[in-house]
Each structure stands twice: as structure tokens, then as C-alpha cells.
Amino acid sequence: MPYNAQLTGMDFNLSEEHEAVQFAARDFAQNELLAGVIERDNEQKFDPALIRKMGDLGFLSMMVLPQYGGGGMDTLSYVIAMEEISKIDASASVIMSVNNSLVCWGLQAYGTDAQKEKYLTRLASGKMVGAFCLSEPEAGSDATSQHTTAEDMGDYYLLNGTKNWITNGNSSEICLVIAQTHPDRGHKGINALIVEKNSAGFTVGRKEDKMGIRASDTHTLMFSDVKVPKENRIGEDGFGFKFAMMVLNGGRIGIAAQALGIAAGAFELSLKYSQERKTFGKPISNHQAIQFKLAEMATKIEAARMLVYKAARLKDQGKDYIKAAAMAKLYASDVAMWVTTEAVQVHGGYGYVKEFHVERLMRDAKITQIYEGTSEIQKLVIARELLK
């Protein structure tokens, strides 16, 4: 029986629907993702057929409304699925997270009817994935400093610049690109554009050789005089930075759920291993040194889960979730790093080799403290909200 400590109490029991999502995601992770996860990590490749399968099963467009072909599920369902998939394969879950939280949700919340019809339906069908392009060589945390330009040419924008560390960089067919149109207006001059991959002047550059989430494709993207039709702008002129911030608020809930899943996956492995592995004539779970670790791991995971669920519930209730999302990501990512490090320790020498999975989970955990805003950025976001 996998570890599945659910929140108990009036407000925290999972509904039957949520339990069904959990079961489906766990089933997919165990039966489709687990077998090749070490190989994919080694080879830094994610089989496109597996992405399509995730799409067919609805994991790539969970919150998209049924009228566009999505699952019409709530954020809680999404984080429950993210946790289960991240327990096994964080490369799969980052593909899922970017597509669900940033691309699909961004288009659904702020796109025009025509944009939703043209792009969201294709994303929801699972036949293509999207990418979100904000980071640049000189604009990571400092996201207002966009050097990529979208010059207003009348009925189109002329896009020039370079984007870095783009998840789904190669596998995506459309990209949401953040670029500066009116430098004199600062962040209020930034636009968000839907850019099709086959546009002239769009080049997929170098693939990153990463520490973790190695199977997900992370690339540099280059734009050289790419013509983007005006109707592909999301929102009003100058809405691009606000758009990026709003989708990242929701994205942080997804990454918090990823971190939670990585931690929970490492914990489940440690719990099992500690009952099988014997030292000094008894299972290591009989030693207090190991019991203390297991107890602390489970406690931190449970606390992280409550923060993640709370942020998801606030979003589903239409309430302000900016602070809750940043808190969930800040805490869950630290828990993921700590728990996976302890999991390697529980496994001893076996923890240091690939076969036992925890070393990969430890490498995967680190990125959750970095992307969609570093831990330091989460603290800034939380403090901004506290001091409002």
C-alpha cells in the first residue's frame, strides 16, 4: 500500500472524484512511467509517444473547460495528479505543469475566443504542448528587464531576442513569449504573444544538460525578425508582464505539488527500504536513528501537502491565492530538498546509485527551489502581500 496520508478533518477529506483522479494518476505513474524513468533520465529524452499518452489521458489539460475539450477539473484535482506523477517522474510532471498551469490556464483565463478556439482546443486534445517563455540570459528573477523586443509594426509585431531555460522548448508547437514593446513604459510596456513554432525566424537552440529533470527538454529559443500577427497578443497592449505574473502565481501551485510529490516519492521508497534492509540483525526501521528520520520526513510532507491543498482550494474558490501559492512553493520545495537528502541517507550506499531512484529524486528536487521563481523570489512575493 503506497503511503497516502490524506488530510483528515472536515475540510480536508478528498471527495470520491478527487480520489478517482489520484488513483488514475498513480496508476499511470506506476504502470507507464516507472519502467523507463532511469533510462529517460540517463538519455535525457522523453518519448513523444509518452507525452501523447499523457495528453490522451487528459493529464495535460486538466483544468481546461470541456467546451474547449479539456477535463474541466479543479486545481485540487490537478495538484493531486501532479503529486502522484512527480513521485515517479518529475520530468513528466514538469511537462505537465508548464502545459496545464502556464500555457492552458493562461490562454483560458486571458485569451480571446478566437485564440482559445485556435490554440486551446489543440492543446486540450493532447496533440500538442506549449511552452512559456519569460526567462532570458539577463532576465531570470529580474523578470521586468525583458531584452526581447516585440516592435509594433501595425498589424503585426516583429519579435527579436533570446529566451533561456525553456521547458518543452523543442517539443512544443506554440510558445507564449513575453517581450518588450514600449521600453519607455517599463514593465507596463511588455506584451505576451502566442508564437507558432513554424514561424520564419524562430530557431530552437541549445539543449541544456541539466542536474535534474533531465528527461524534460529545456532549450534556448531564438527569435530573429519573427512576424507575429497582432491578433496573437494576449490581453491589452502592455498587459504582458501582469499576464506573466498571474500565470506564475498559479504555476507555483503546480510546482509546489511537484515538490510535494518528489518528497512523498522519496519517503515511500525510504519507508519500504527501511523495513527490508537489515543491519545489526534487524530491519533498519527498528533503529531509532531511522525512525526519527521517517517521522520527521512524514511530518514535513504532511505540512507541505496542507499548504499545497490550501493554495489550490483558494484558487478554486476564486479567492486571492498569491501568498498561499508562494508559501506552498517555498515550503514544499525546501521539504523536497530535505526529504530527498534524508532518503539518500536512509538508503546508505544504495541511495547513491541510480537503481534505487532516490538519488534522481534528490537531483530533481533542487530545481523546485529555482524555477517559477527562486525561494528568495517566493519570500519577496510573500512579503509584498504581507506588507500591502
| Residues binding ligand CAA (CB under 6 A) | 94, 98, 132, 134-135, 141, 143-144, 167, 187, 241-242, 245-246, 248-249, 322, 371-373, 377, 380-381
Strands 149-152 and 156-167: antiparallel
Q: Least CB distance from residue 83 to ligand CAA, whole Å? A: 17
Cα within 13 Å of Cα(272), Cβ side: 12
Listed in sequence order, the residues at least 6 apart from 65 whose beta carbon sits closer than 8 Å to its beta carbon are: 72, 108
Please give the positions annotated as active site.
372
Report the run of H or E that residue 165 belongs to, with start and end.
Answer: strand 156-167
Calpha distance 69→111 (Å, rounded): 16
Pairing, β 172-180 against β 129-133: parallel
**Cα separation, 178 vs 149, whole angstroms:** 9
Q: How many CB atoms lie within 10 A of CB 365?
A: 30
Minimum gap (Å) between residue 208 Cβ and ligand CAA: 11
As measured in angstroms, the least distance from the Cβ of 378 to ligand CAA is 9
How many other CB atoms are found less than 10 A from the CB of residue 16?
Answer: 7
Q: How far is the CB of 295 from ligand CAA (least distance, A)?
A: 32
The CA distances from residue 59 to 75, 92, 97, in Å, are 12, 10, 9
Distance in Å, CB of 139 to ligand CAA, minimum: 8
CA distance 130 to 135: 15
For 276, which DSSP code?
Answer: H
Which one, 22 or 181, has the nearer CB to ligand CAA?
Answer: 181
Rounded to an integer, what distance in angstroms lies between the CA atom of residue 291 and that of residue 335?
A: 18
Q: Give the nearer residue to ligand CAA in terms of CB position, either 278 or 384.
A: 384
Q: Which is nearer to ligand CAA, 98 or 330 (CB)?
A: 98
Q: Which is nearer to ligand CAA, 120 or 255 (CB)?
A: 255
CA 133 distance to own-chain centroid: 14
Phi (first) and psi of residue 212, to 5 degrees: -130, -170
What is the closest distance, in whole angstroms, from the C-beta atom of residue 197 to ligand CAA in the complex?
A: 17
Residue 92 or 346 with smaller CB distance to ligand CAA: 92
Residue 171 forms beta bridges with which residues?
none
- Candidates 97, 66, 182; CA nearest to 368 is 97
In the complex with ligand CAA, the residue whose CB is nearer, 334 or 372, is: 372
Residue with Cβ nearer ligand CAA (215 or 344): 215
Shortest Å, Cβ 142 to ligand CAA: 6
Give the Cα separation of 252 and 232 in Å (integer).
25
